[in-house]
Amino acid sequence: MTSLSDPTSSSISGATRAVRVRKVLETALFPTRLDIQDESHRHAHHVEQTRGPNAGATETHFRLYIVSPVFEGMSRVARSRKVHDLLAPELADGLHALALTLRTPAEEEATV
């Protein structure tokens, strides 16, 4: 599992989709925490299937942990829809799956 939590980390060199995902989410959600993990290696059997124009591409499965004030007053379903809507271009271009943990700052504080 590759962690992409630190945008300056050397682990993201060449991680084009992860960088794009981070930029979109940071711009729209103003997260106080944003962890991105590329779990594509755990789904290697999917590579043979067509995944948009970049069939067989890596960076197809991500686990996202987002804490954002934008989620205040939103249901879990609405939060998920928001993230999926923001990442629709990536989903149309080979991103296959997202595992989401979406919290408000108050919810995050309560879990500590």
Interval 41-90: pLDDT, tens:
665 555 444 444 444 456 788 999 999 999 999 999 999 999 999 999 98
| Total domains present in the chain | 1
pLDDT at 60: 80
Half-sphere exposure of 28 (CA within 13 A, CB side): 15
Model confidence at 13, pLDDT cuts 50, 70, 90, reads: very low
pLDDT tens-digit series, residues 19-42: 999 999 999 999 999 999 988 766
Higher pLDDT, 51 or 111: 111
Containing structural domain, residue 14:
2-111
pLDDT at 66: 98
Residue 54 tokens read as 């970049």
pLDDT at 45: 54
Identify the CATH number of the domain in which residue 79 sits.
3.30.300.90
Find out whether 110 and 74 touch, Cβ atoms under 8 Å: no
The single-letter DSSP state of residue 32 is S
Find out whether 86 and 24 touch, Cβ atoms under 8 Å: yes
Find out whether 83 and 67 touch, Cβ atoms under 8 Å: no
